Amino acid sequence: MRGMSLRIALLGLLTAYGSASGYDLAKSFEKSVAHVWQAGHSQIYPELAKMAADGLVTVEAEGARGRKIYTITAEGRAELREWLLGHDPTGPARSEVALQAFLIPLLDAPEAVAVLERFRAHSEQKLVQLEALWTAKHSAPIPEGTARVKFGNLALDLGIRQTRMVLKWADDAIAEIRAQS
């Protein structure tokens, strides 16, 4: 029951889209889910095959160019629900940014400031992207179904707050280092 997050992400996308091919799902991973989870097609295709073997999805049809269209089954929906409701989010807490933050005090003041300023710049850039996504979502011309529109909004909000927080943290850290020297 551990490390099945890819499975869950795929089930979630299939629920949202109704049905989709591996190719579609891979595209979704590049776009909508990207800030939250990553996976390449070489991971997605075998996982979909395993999920089909486990009865969580079915191949409804085969379209042009060998396109396989997957749909979530009742069993799949149950699995997703169970995970969402019952999964304790004890994340592995493995962040390169945090590791770098941890080690920064090993550097001298000017170097530390340089690293923190790179963090700052990076965060600022990411913030622009996420806020663009946000306004795009909230000024969508004609919403096609409520679930589709709302889907991913909470996570986007979380991402924006996260990025703002890192920005502020870097600013404060820079200020404090400068005050000490």
Partner DNA sequence: AGGTGACATGTCAGTGCTTACATGTCAATA
Partner DNA sequence: TATTGACATGTAAGCACTGACATGTCACCT
d(CA 12, CA 72): 9
Residue 141 touches a copy of itself, criterion: CB under 8 A: no
Among 87, 128, 145, 175, binds a copy of itself (CB under 8 A): 87
Helices (H), the chain: 5-17, 22-30, 41-53, 74-86, 96-103, 109-138, 146-150, 153-180
Residue 4 touches DNA, criterion: CB under 7 A: yes
Pattern 152-181, DNA, x by CB under 7 A: ------------------------------
Query: Does residue 10 contact residue 44 with C-beta atoms inside 8 Å?
Result: yes
Query: Long-range CB contacts (< 8 A, 24+ apart) of 165-174?
Result: 166/97, 166/119, 166/123, 167/120, 167/123, 167/124, 167/127, 170/116, 170/117, 170/119, 170/120, 170/123, 171/120, 173/104, 173/116, 174/113, 174/116, 174/117, 174/120
Residue 43 touches DNA, criterion: CB under 7 A: yes
**CB of residue 56 vs a copy of itself: minimum separation in angstroms?**
15
- The number of residues that bind a copy of itself (CB under 8 A) is 59
- The number of residues that bind DNA (CB under 7 A) is 28
Which of 21, 163 has the CB closer to DNA? Answer: 21
Report what 46 binds from a copy of itself, DNA, none; CB cut-off 5-8 Å by kind: DNA
Order of strands across the sheet that contains 19-21: 19-21, 68-72, 57-62
How many residues does the structure list for the chain? Answer: 181
Report what 2 binds from a copy of itself, DNA, none; CB cut-off 5-8 Å by kind: DNA
* Interacting residues with DNA (CB under 7 A): 2-6, 21-24, 26, 38-43, 45-46, 48-49, 63-68, 92, 94
Q: Which residues would be at the binding site for a copy of itself (CB under 8 A)? A: 5, 8-9, 12, 15-16, 33-38, 80-81, 84-85, 87-89, 91-107, 111, 114-115, 118-119, 122, 147, 150-155, 157-159, 161-162, 165-166, 168-169, 173
